[in-house]
Amino acid sequence: MNQAVRFHDQHVADSHTSFRDAVVAGLSARPKSLSPKFFYDRPGSLLFERICQQPEYYLTCTEEHILADASDEIAALVGPDSLLVELGSGASRKVRLLLEAMRPSRYLGVDISREFLLESTRRLAADYPWLEVHAAWADFSRRLALPEGVAGQRSVAFFPGSSIGNFEPSAAQAFLAHLRQILPPDSGVLIGVDLIKDRAVLEAAYNDAAGITAAFNLNLLQRLRHELGVEVEPANFDHLAFYNEAESRIEMHLVSRCRQTLRLKEWRFPLEEGERLHTENSCKYSIEGFQALARRAGYMPTAVWTDPRQLFSVHYLST
């Protein structure tokens, strides 16, 4: 059977304008900042795939090992005939482990990167002919809704990769609480969460020797140039990533190498030498800290798996 992917366009119609408005607001703020969700244009999504293959970036391979080891247990928790919803599906590699163990009747991939979403869901549909595959093109940080046609079925929302770390803890709690509201009764959330650990291990993961994370960070400036026509020279910026221990988070910034002015239409954004543009927070948790947050969001933390080095955790939260 060669079945098609059911595509649901949930993207905000004014995505270009809202991108520009967000950039103008972020460059006008003090300190200057841009949301990490803007990293994921096509080149950015490809760079992220390469980050996941860097030896220092332990998150991806560790999570994959945890999922491989726990997949039967996860399948038993979730039960048969469910809907598997993947948030930020990207290249959808990890979910294959779950699909094979769980054998859900339906899969819904949700992603902000349209081409990536279509490619990866088409591959899933081709490889798993028994699976009904849906794709929702959406910015789930703004709008989260199960599309018509899948709503109502007992679900498990898979939120891999520690993407939840991009939210501040209070926003993460609000996001999870909202997710709980839209999931049908008796559902669950399977979520990957990076753990607090040695500064050296954390900082190496965001400063890989091959410079892929730096290229990923700087690609945001290319995107501003190509998509919005911002006059900006990426070579005038340095990549900076460090662990902010007080906030338990990796911070990424772009640091101005000189005094310069970015231009966008009638706007002027002057930068001092050394001034930073904050591009990402990646919050880290202890197992107990994350379980407490999940409880505050209304969930029951039912199971947690980790690796022998306690680098990464995968939680199952019941709604």
Residues that bind ligand AVJ (CB under 6 A): 51, 59, 161-163, 165-166, 206, 213, 280, 282
Specify the residue, 104 or 192, whose C-beta has the smaller distance to ligand AVJ.
Answer: 192
Q: In the bound complex, what is the minimum distance in angstroms from residue 27's beta carbon to ligand AVJ? A: 20
Write down the number of H helices and E strands in the chain: 9, 14
Residue 132 CB burial class (10 angstroms; 0-12, 13-18, ≥19): middle
Please, which residues bridge with residue 111 across strands?
137
CA distance 285 to 64: 19
Specify the residue, 104 or 109, whose C-beta has the smaller distance to ligand AVJ.
Answer: 109
Residue 255 CB burial class (10 angstroms; 0-12, 13-18, ≥19): middle
Specify the residue, 104 or 161, whose C-beta has the smaller distance to ligand AVJ.
Answer: 161
Q: In the bound complex, what is the minimum distance in angstroms from residue 59's beta carbon to ligand AVJ? A: 6
Q: Which of 187, 172, 160 is nearest to 82 (CA)?
A: 187
Q: In the bound complex, what is the minimum distance in angstroms from residue 51's beta carbon to ligand AVJ? A: 5
Specify the residue, 6 or 50, whose C-beta has the smaller distance to ligand AVJ.
Answer: 50
Q: In the bound complex, what is the minimum distance in angstroms from residue 192's beta carbon to ligand AVJ? A: 8
| Angle at CA of residue 90, ends 39 and 21, nearest 5° | 30
Specify the residue, 109 or 161, whose C-beta has the smaller distance to ligand AVJ.
Answer: 161
Q: In the bound complex, what is the minimum distance in angstroms from residue 280's beta carbon to ligand AVJ? A: 6
